[in-house]
Amino acid sequence: MVAELEKEILASFFLLELEFTTTYYYTDRDIPVHYDGHHYEPLGFSFTDIAYSGSMAVDSVTVDIVNLDRVFSGIILNEDVRNKTANIHFGVTLRTNGRISSTIVEPVFVGKIAGWKIEGDKKCSLTIANEMILWNKKTLRTHPANCPWTFKGTECAYAGAVTTCDKSWDACVAMVNEANYGGFRWIPKLVDKETWWGKTQGGKD
């Protein structure tokens, strides 16, 4: 069955869509590909450093792009491409009775550009990270009730006559500096209380 299916596949290819200020469409085929109303230009690229999580989901992938004419390096140097969306599709062109019958394209990876590198005059690399891995990152800041800023520091910005502060909301109000309060003053009132998400209790609209 596999052998018969291989006979039907005329060509396989990848599509790379980069949503920069201008959206760029590329294919690793040596001829243009028209898909979903877009024209994908031929560009030499391949995938390396595919990182998997414990659940075998892809966390990130590195795309190595041929840059002999320096066109692509010019694109990524002209704007900040970090956190821009990248879409990768895989496609096959099928043939029946020796003729092209259909082209099937499926999405295989969507992520944000986490970094890039230009390697001499021959190659550029884009690292594309799965957006879901951001949920696994630990926050660098907790949510204290009191203000975390250094009194009279940059974030606090208080420049009055008071010389001490207990970092409380009431103290900030007394100094008319509540606009710069960095704490979460409602936290104590939420402790040990049930929080309902939705319009009514139980999650029913």
Domain boundaries in the chain? Answer: 2-133, 141-193
From 10-19, 26-35, 85-94, 99-108, the region with the lowest mean pLDDT: 99-108
- Please determine, looking at this structure, whether the domain spanning 2-133 carries the CATH number 2.40.10: yes
Q: What is the pLDDT of residues 61-96, one digit of tens each?
A: 999 999 888 889 999 999 999 999 999 999 988 876
- pLDDT over 70 (residue 139): no
Identify whether the C-beta of residue 40 lies closer than 8 Å to the C-beta of residue 25. Answer: yes
Q: Name the average pLDDT for the chain.
A: 83
pLDDT at 179: 92
- pLDDT over 80 (residue 131): no
Q: What is the pLDDT of residues 165-177, one digit of tens each?
A: 999 999 999 999 9
pLDDT band at 57 (very low <50, low <70, confident <90, very high): low
- pLDDT over 60 (residue 54): no
In the chain, what percentage of residues exceed pLDDT 70? 77
Q: Mean pLDDT across the stretch 26-54?
A: 86
Flag whether the pTM goes above 0.95. no
